[in-house]
Amino acid sequence: MNMDSGTLVEWVLGSDAGFWWRLAGVATAWALPITLWVSLVGLISIWLERKISAHIQCRLGPMEVGPHGALQTIADGVKLLAKEDLIPEGADRMLFALAPILAFAGTFVSFAVIPFGPDLIISDLDTGLYFLAAIGSLEAIGVIAAGWASNNKWALFGSVRAATQVVSYEIPLGLAFVTVAAVAGTLSMTEMVEQQSGMFWNWYMFRNPFMPIAFILYYIASLAECKRAPFDLPEAESELVSGFHTEYSGMRFAIFFLAEYAAMYVVSALAVVLFLGGWYTGIAPLDQALSASPLWGNVVGALVIITKSFVLIFVQMWLRWTLPRIRLDQMMHLCLKVMVPIGMFVLVLAALWQALLPYEGAVANHKPLFPAVGSIAGLAIFVLLTVGAWIWVRNTIRATTSFKSANYRI
């Protein structure tokens, strides 16, 4: 299993075994590990969400089942399995049953093009990014179907909100994709990661002064794609009871739940691939030493990409347990009137930069220890944005405290 023979799936598909054998081979090579991985990601991130939210809120979270409640999710999964499968009267039974599967399938298929290491990718499509953009919104169809099929007004509200959210966030998300593609010159996931080898300033994130902005756009839009706070409008438990999955219980609900957490991983892993150097640690000598051995390159690469993804997932959780929910019109305003124009500018400027100042660090031979102009500018912009955001938040908070009440004194 190395670069010459392609990925395992391609090898299976290319063999001269019979059709059914090849199908079984693909299923084993692709579906089984991914199913296991999706379940594992679900387990880990649900547990993480519980513990992180608990610690943010000065609680302990689950402590009873397993060490620090690590097995709580499994216990809950068993409980959900054993629960009665309810279909409300007047529901569209077929659509109702189909919706969670649709929602899950969209996320599940995305894993096909998300790499875990130099060779650990199910299918290294030339059009990987395009495929992801297309398949990513499939989940929304499942959500819309769920709300419609439930025959419940709250669920309907949730699904209509989901539809609104899709048409709003997909555009800035697409613009961020195109910006990366313009800089990368390719749509293949592995090739994009290869271009980001070397020191961390080679990452697309810092490739030119506009990429940090593209990353922030992508991250905000990805929050909306995962229906995470502050964009959790389709579920909005305080407004719509539970939104689109109000009527779902038992295993069907669990599938929705799993799809949500799997989607969190997908968008985070994608952010890592597109902006944060994929499986490279960002320290050139270390990467060079590792890539000498294909085994270690893949194992450490997978660890690196998963760690980076979980850091981003942690940020998602952090945001969720900190921020209030924005309103539907505010969400559309943000996506369509703020993020789309910024995305347009970023795309044009990043493409211009790429055309006028092509990246000097020839990547293939891992030697750009001298950062290009673009990287310096990119890093500077990133730092500037971070500090600026911090100052802005502090000022907003200071401007609005109850201390401003006239002649307040103790």
Partner 1 sequence: MSSEATSTAALAPGGADLRTEEMLLNMGPQHPATHGVLRVMVRTDGEMVLDCEPHVGYLHRCFEKHCENVTTLQAVLYTDRLDYLTAMGNNWGFCMAVEKLYGPELVIPERAQYIRVICQELNRIASHLLAIGTYGMDVGAITPFLYCFREREKILTIFEHICGQRLNYNYIRPGGVAYDVDDAMLALIGDFCSYFLPKIDEYDDLLSGNDIFVKRTANVGVLSAKLAIDYGCTGPVLRGSGVPRDLRKDKPYGIYERFEFDVPVGSGEHGTVGDCFDRYMVRVREMRESTRIVRQALKSIPGGEIRSAKIKAKIRPPKGEAFTRIENSRGDLGFYVVSDGKEVLYRVKCRAPSFHNISVLPEISRGSMLADLIAIIGSLDIVLGEVDR
Where do contacts with partner 1 occur on this chain (CB under 8 A)? Answer: 53, 56-59, 153, 157, 160-161, 229-230, 232, 236-239, 241, 321-330, 393, 396-408, 410
Q: Which is nearer to partner 1, 82 or 399 (CB)?
A: 399
CA distance 97 to 142: 10
Coil, helix or strand at residue 32? helix
CB of 311 vs partner 1, minimal distance in Å: 21
Q: Residue 138: name the closest of 246, 229, 266, 18 by CA.
A: 266
Q: Which is nearer to partner 1, 60 or 380 (CB)?
A: 60
Q: Which is nearer to partner 1, 117 or 147 (CB)?
A: 147
Q: Which is nearer to partner 1, 158 or 209 (CB)?
A: 158
CB of 153 vs partner 1, minimal distance in Å: 6
Contacts of 337 (CB under 8 A, 6+ apart): none
Coil, helix or strand at residue 98? helix
CA distance 185 to 153: 46
- At residue 95's C-alpha, the angle toward residues 94 and 101, to 5°, is 100
Q: Which is nearer to partner 1, 39 or 242 (CB)?
A: 242
CB of 393 vs partner 1, minimal distance in Å: 8
Omega prior to 368 cis, within 30 of 0: no
CA distance 300 to 87: 46
Q: Which is nearer to partner 1, 192 or 331 (CB)?
A: 331
CB of 348 vs partner 1, minimal distance in Å: 28
CB of 331 vs partner 1, minimal distance in Å: 10
DSSP assignment of 152-178? -HHHHHHHHHHHHHHHHHHHHHHHHHH
Q: Which is nearer to partner 1, 186 or 249 (CB)?
A: 249
CB of 395 vs partner 1, minimal distance in Å: 9
CA distance 46 to 310: 12
Class of residue 270 by CB neighbours under 10 A (exposed 0-12, middle 13-18, buried 19+):
buried
Contacts of 164 (CB under 8 A, 6+ apart): 233, 328, 331, 332
CB of 148 vs partner 1, minimal distance in Å: 14
Q: Which is nearer to partner 1, 330 or 386 (CB)?
A: 330
